[in-house]
Structure 1
Amino acid sequence: MRVLLTGSSGWLGRYLAPRLHAEGHTVIGLDVAPGPHTRIIGSVADRTLVDRTFDDHGIDAVVHAGALHKPYIVRYPRQAFIDVNTSGTLNLLEAAVAANASRFVFTSTTSLMISTAIREARGDTAVWIDEDMAPLEPRNIYGITKLSAEHICRLIHAEHGMPIVILRTSRFFPEDDDTHRALSGENMKANELLHRRLTVEDAVEAHVVALARAPEIGFGTFIVSAPTPFTRTDVADLKRDAPAVIARLYPDARELYARVGWSLPASIDRIYDAGLADRVLGFRCQTDFAEVLRALREGRTSPVAHDPSYVSPKESH
């Protein structure tokens, strides 16, 4: 297929473009910043550019991975998030319909499921998060615009029947967390594989599977995150004493962590359940917390990419 990949110069795009090539697709990369996989420099907010891209390149499938992300909230006005994340998605969807595209994959985010109450961990138990959680109350303009884009995807599918798969990915960024600094970046990322992270390699594979299966699925929204070892019966204990729950499941975790000076999470406030993606989409992340422990036992580097110096090409070009 001739696949339009937005965000082709970004962290996901740099891994996803060659993987799509390997699947036999012709990839037309679009990004505001130059990159090795980007043919077209520009924004999805530019409707003229989007329409011309479809016309010039015979696009018959879209993977929309480009977006303004949460860390940019302090540097960009809210209108920029609306223009890129919401209006830009509408531009792509309408152009895809006009071109009779066969499918559309939208990279969304689990962030839109996190209310202020969840973010501040106000409850007495960890929050179990799956696709049935409601109401959704995004806490910032990033989440609001991504949720709005999801609603537009649903509308376009209902009106035109175009197969659309929405992937609500959890964290896979390589840089340090912009709000939490208590632990090293490597330590935090390892901990997050328990409940709110996946590797960029698994994020790539989820998109490859979604692109292949979109016509069969028709329309679907899926959380994509490393499989959690926890169950719903653990939510109270995880909030109160997460190391005790982890020790029950992984008896040597504390010792392995101690060898490298890491700390287990004292408390866990949310768990993303990616079970629906496993059951319906047919995708399951290959890297989980157990793989981190295997790497520690064998003296290998962590399977989770960590680059505290990473800067988005959009910000550096």
Structure 2
Amino acid sequence: MRLLLTGSSGWLGQVLAPRLVAAGHEVIGLDPAPGAFTSVIGSVAERALVDRVFVDHGIEAVIHAGALHKPDIARYPAQAFIDVNVTGTLNLLEAAARAGHDRFIFTSTTSLMISEAIRAGRAGGARRAAWLDETHAPPEPRNIYGVTKLAAEQLCRLHHRAHGMAVMVLRTGRFFPEEDDTDRALSGPNIKANEFLNRRLTVEDTADAHLVALDQAPRLGFETFILSAPPPFAPDEAEALVADAPSVIARRFPDAAELYARRGWSLPRHIDRVYDPSKAERLLGFRCRTDFAAVLSALREDRRLPFAHDPTYVSPQQRSRGESG
């Protein structure tokens, strides 16, 4: 299948593209920055460019992984998020509909599910961790990134209804390698390890989920899936997770505190939200390979951590801007 992969030079694209090729697909990459799997340099916001790519390359399906992301809020005006994340998605959907495509994969984000109240968590008076699955509504995004991704999801839904095109919306948890841009209380690897309890997955698992969604889309029609490492908790522990998360963790992983202590790490004192990816396992047959148990196993055996951490990471688009500037 000839696939258009947007965001082909990015962190996910550079892992996803070779997997698609290995699965027998021909990948046409579209990205504002050059990359090993990027065939066309440009933005999805350029309607004429998108239309030309579809005609010139005979595109048969789309994986739309390109976007402006939350860290870009400090670099771009709100209009740029609307142009890329909303108009760009519309451009792709309309081109796919005209081409008669039967599937479209959209990379979304769990970030759009987090309201200011959920983000405040215990500090805001919450007594229970928010247990978040695909039925959580209404979403109340707290920034322009979340607002535009939610709008793009709704465009996907409209095009499924209007054209019968199967669309898989994949709300991914955190998988980027850079430092957290809001929380610096703990080291980067410590923060990422903690997030495998409730809100993180590896880029490799993210890529694999896209391949499964591409294969399963025609069978499912329209679906939204949360992608995150399976949490080791149950919903009836939501109150205890806010009150005393280390005690809940200790019941599941008795040696976690000791393993963390060897690294000088700290377990989270409170967990204010848990993403539930069980729908993806149930309907897609997909489950992340790397979870918190895998992180502890690496610590226990003094092996390399099973996730990427790179405090120097800069997106290809930002590197290109810096070089051209």
Q: What's the TM-score, normalizing by structure 2?
A: 0.97
Query: Is the aligned partner of 1:291 residue 2:294?
Result: yes
Shift of 1:240: 0.9
State the secondary structure of the residue aligned to 1:11: coil
Does residue 313 (structure 1) correspond to residue 322 (structure 2)? The answer is no
Which position in structure 2 is the counterpart of 1:44? 44
* Residue equivalent to 1:64: 64
Separation in 1, partners of 2:94, 2:43: 15
Partner of 2:185: 182
State the distance in 2 between where 1:181 and 1:252 align: 25
* 1:211 matched to 2:211: no
**TM-superposition CA deviations, 1:284-306 (whole Å, max 9, x none):** 10100000111111110110110
Q: Which of 279, 282, 305 is the aligned partner of 2:285? A: 282
Superposed, 1:26-37 pairs within 5 Å as 26-37=26-37
How far did 1:141 drift?
Answer: 0.5
Give the number of aligned pairs: 317
Identity of aligned residues (%): 68
Q: How does 1:138-177 map to 2 (within 5 A)?
A: 138-177=141-180
Tell me the SS of whatever aligns to 1:120: helix
Two-structure CA RMSD over aligned residues (Å)? 0.5
Deviation at 1:102, TM superposition (A): 2.5
Is 1:11 matched with 2:11? yes
CA distance in 1, matches of 2:151, 2:285: 26
Q: Name the CA distance, whole Å, in 1 between partners of 2:151 and 2:166.
A: 18
Match of 2:97 in 1: 97
Code of the aligned partner of 2:158: L
Alignment of 1:228-243 (within 5 A): 228-243=231-246
Q: What amino acid sits opposite 1:231 in the alignment? A: A
**Residue type matched to 1:14 in 2?**
Q
Give yes or no for the alignment of 1:193 onto 2:202: no
Mapping of residues 61-140 of structure 1, within 5 Å? 61-121=61-121, 122=124, 123-140=126-143
SS of residue in 1 equivalent to 2:29: strand
Displaced runs of 4 or more, over 2 A:
none
Q: What amino acid does structure 2 have at the position aligned with 1:150?
A: E
In the TM superposition, residue 308 of structure 1 has moved relative to its aligned partner by: 0.5
CA–CA separation in structure 2 for the residues paired with 1:102 and 1:17: 20
Matched, 1:265 2:268: yes
Q: Which runs of 5+ in 2 are unaligned?
A: 321-325
- The AA in structure 2 aligned to 1:299 is D
The residue that corresponds to 1:2 in the other structure is 2
For the residues of structure 2 that align with 1:72 and 1:15, how far apart are their CA atoms? 21
CA–CA distance in 1 between the matches of 2:238 and 2:195?
16
